[in-house]
Amino acid sequence: MRHLLDLTAWNRREHFAFFSAFEEPFFGVVADVDASQAYIHAKAAGESFFQRYLHAVLRAVNAVEALRYRIEDGQVYCYDAIHASPTLTRDDNTFAFGFVPYAPDFAEFGRGLRAEIEEVRQSTGLRLNDNAARLDVIHFSAIPWVSFTGLTHARAFRHPDSVPKISVGRTRREGARLLMPVAVNAHHGLADGYHVGLFFEELQRALDEA
């Protein structure tokens, strides 16, 4: 479900109009999170660490209203729930676009994730289906080969886009902590650094509670 924002009463209407006129309205932030507890819990339970942090990311996104805004035909809608559109890899090192429904329940979310991973493994190409065009998602990617400090995305500027892009990189040890870089790219007409800061706070809380 979604609901339409009244732009005339929105306190960000000038910000929205200003940044929507940009050729590149997205801005990006990269910061480390402490994934120690999530990793410990995942290994102790024999669970997927990928599942752990992807679920935590979706928990955080859904907790920040600004990251649930999407632009459609010049209007701004707020979605009740945001799901994941991750890039999932195959044994031959190609990837495809997936769709994983968000579920607050970790086990239920895991069943959907595992089913989609298997679908991708049995497929070829990018899987540019209807789910790949959904707006009620985040575009998510894991880059476990690089502990990055910056990240850009391939974008078709002529194609209207307001879906946040979130990526995680390779973890690294720093003392007792397991740090993981997280990149967030969001439409500046819909969100600011303040909202990204809220996302990181919620993400760290979700990782610690794993």
Domain 2-208 has CATH 3.40.190.290: no
Stretch 185-207: mean pLDDT, rounded?
98
User: CB under 8 Å to 146, separation ≥6 — which residues?
Assistant: 169, 170
Pairing verdict, β 172-174 and 165-169: unpaired
- In this model, does residue 26 exceed pLDDT 80? yes
The answer to whether residues 160 and 26 touch, using CB atoms and an 8 Å cutoff, is: no
- pLDDT tens column, 95-121: 999 999 999 999 999 999 999 999 999
- pLDDT tens column, 44-53: 999 999 999 9
- Judged by phi (left if over 0) then psi (alpha if -120 to 50, else beta), residue 125 lies in left
Residue positions annotated with a catalytic role: 188
Averaged confidence pLDDT in the chain: 97
- In this model, does residue 79 exceed pLDDT 70? yes
Residue 157: the pLDDT is 87
Reading the block at residue 57, the tokens are 């990311």
Reading the block at residue 13, the tokens are 């209407």
φ and ψ at residue 22, rounded to 5 degrees = -75, 145
